[in-house]
Amino acid sequence: MADTVKEPSGSLTVVNGNSGRITPASQKVKNQATVIVGAQWGDEGKGKIVDLLAVKADVVCRCAGGNNAGHTVVVGKTEYDFHLLPSGVINPSCKSIIGARKRLVVHLPGLFDELTKNEAKGLSGIRERLVISDRAHLVFDLHQSVDGLQENEKGLKKQQLGTTKKGIGPTYASKASRHGIRISDLIGDYDRFSEKFQNLVRIHKQAFPSLEVDVDAELARYRLLAEEVRPMVKDTVFLMNQVINNPQPQFIIVEGANAAMLDIDFGTYPYVTSSNCTVGGVLTGLGVPARAIGDVFGVVKAYTTRVGDGPFPTELTEEIGAGLQQRGAEFGVTTKRPRRCGWLDLVVVKYTHMLNGYSALAMTKLDILDTLDEIKIGVAYRHEGKLLDSFPAELTLLDKVQVDYITLKGWKQDISAARKFEDLPKEALNYIQVVEEQLGVPVRWIGVGKKRDDVIERQ
């Protein structure tokens, strides 16, 4: 532990254990990270905003989740689907970091499959620019099998969580019970890795006797994967702190996975993911100090969607919802499951703003509302006539809330060619302005189409 000394001025200073230099404890890092997080239940289009900013980025990081998340980025006529890879890999001069410290879990076969598919689409040099944390936990095929077995064990659909069955939850459970296996184990002592893997299989077979695992085949496969992944593995805690303290300016982007309403602690539990996907997850996921966080941009879809089960107060279950689903191509990148659609819910976004402290918002898919005669925005919840202060934790209460809406006139025209804010019809401008007034947060980017440059940026 570093020694502390008290200067005559009374300001606390810390002695740097490596250099012996004395620096003020309140000194800021040289480079702060720009964080991009989902403001709803995911699928907001975070990848597109990351791609937009990553053109100038030096480092793009993933810090939470696993290959249960998916981002789509369209460049020219090429559509890229990313699951574990940060969207910033499209920028050939940008370093991409995944799996930092505690919060991101990696399914190596899935990662290499993703690398191969994107290399086939023309992305080159990804493996040389990709860095994977030695502290990231491994997702094994057995975790994915257990994920499905656990869902089946719940029986009735209303008791199921609608997981992606990518093994993320069981991997976090292994980690929390101290039986998890990290990448550092894989590329270290292989005999020790083998012992840990066999123990992991034994534990899961005790809980699920029907689980089938070919231990010898898996160990042989991971011996090869260890050598393939070894050149990419680094101590990313040390690396990230080098980057944030680099005397040269560094543009750092942290790319959120999933979204705030799927956060294991603050989301609609238990219909959530297994990691912290709010801004707090950046600190535990990358191993950086709080001072390293700069702007936090929330990405919000112009309407609301969610995949799987769980409460959804503004859901549209009839014609309008089906129309949004078809026009917006609302089908999961990872699971291909249809997304449930509903009106924009600002109770949700206000709540996630409290959690994340948005500097500004990016609103995507505004063009999907082009055909509607009128558009509603949910602005408050009531229960038995009483106005609720915020988004409630109790799911049975959520099932019973009534939503207060603001109803606006639709613009009924194609806005996909708009590239300036003033190019939008007055009804669309009004929609954006109502959102800003309700949230007290500016909308800086507006998505009006699927392609990379179908974005309006307001300075």
* Catalytic annotation, residues: 43, 71, 175
Cα 115 to Cα 109: distance, rounded to the nearest angstrom = 10
Tell whether residue 255 is among the known ligand binding residues: no
Is 364 flagged in the annotation as binding? no
At 453 the three-state DSSP class reads coil
Question: Is residue 268 part of an annotated ligand binding site?
Answer: no
What residues are paired with 127 via a beta bridge? none
Q: Is 162 left (phi over 0), alpha (psi -120 to 50) or beta?
A: left
DSSP letter string, 388-419: PSS--S-HHHHTTPEEEEEEEE---S--TT--
Q: ∠114-166-256 over CA atoms, to 5°?
A: 70
Q: Is 276 annotated as a binding residue?
A: no
Sheet holding 130-133, edge to edge: 233-234, 130-133, 95-98, 59-62, 252-255, 33-38, 293-301, 360-364, 443-447, 455-457
On whether 305 is known to bind a ligand per the annotation, the reply is no
* CA neighbor of 131 nearest in space, from 28, 242, 290: 242
- 258 marked ligand binding residue: yes
Name the residue among 450, 451, 437, 302 with its Cα closest to residue 362: 302
Annotated binding residue 72: yes
**Residue 226: count of CB within 10 angstroms of its CB:** 18
Helices (H) and strands (E) in the chain, counts: 14, 23
**Residue 378 marked ligand-binding:** no
Tell me if 103 is assigned to a ligand binding site: no
> Between the CA of residue 339 and those of 24, 169, 175, 263, what are the distances in Å?
50, 21, 30, 18
Is 166 annotated as contributing to ligand binding?
no
Q: Is 287 annotated as a binding residue?
A: no
Q: Is 367 annotated as a binding residue?
A: yes
Spatial distance between the Cα atoms of 396 and 310, rounded to a whole number of angstroms? 11
Residues forming a β-bridge with 362: 299, 445
96 and 88 in contact (C-beta within 8 Å)? yes
User: Any binding-site annotation on 48?
Assistant: yes
86 is in an annotated binding site: no
42 is known to lie in a ligand binding site: yes
* 3-state SS assignment for residue 136: coil
Cα–Cα distances (Å) from 67 to 84, 156, 167, 351, 403, in that order, read 5, 26, 9, 26, 34
Task: State both tokens at 433.
Answer: 């302005």
CA-to-CA distance for 174 and 438, rounded, in angstroms?
A: 42
- Ligand-binding annotation for 178, yes or no, is yes
294 annotated as belonging to a binding site for a ligand: no
Determine whether the annotation assigns residue 88 to a binding site: no
Tell whether residue 366 is among the known ligand binding residues. yes
The β-bridge partners of 104 are 65
Q: Is 338 annotated as a binding residue?
A: yes
Q: Find out whether 282 is annotated in a ligand binding site.
A: no
What Cα–Cα distance (Å) separates residue 110 from each residue in 22, 69, 138, 335?
A: 46, 12, 11, 14
CB atoms within 10 A of CB 109: 14
The binding site for GTP consists of 42-48, 70-72, 339, 365-367, 447-449
From the annotation, which residues make up the binding site? Answer: 42-48, 68-72, 164, 178, 258, 273, 333-339, 365-367, 447-449
User: Which residues make up each annotated binding site for IMP?
Assistant: 43-46, 68-71, 164, 178, 258, 273, 337
Residues at the annotated binding site for substrate? 333-339
Positions at the binding site for Mg(2+): 43, 70
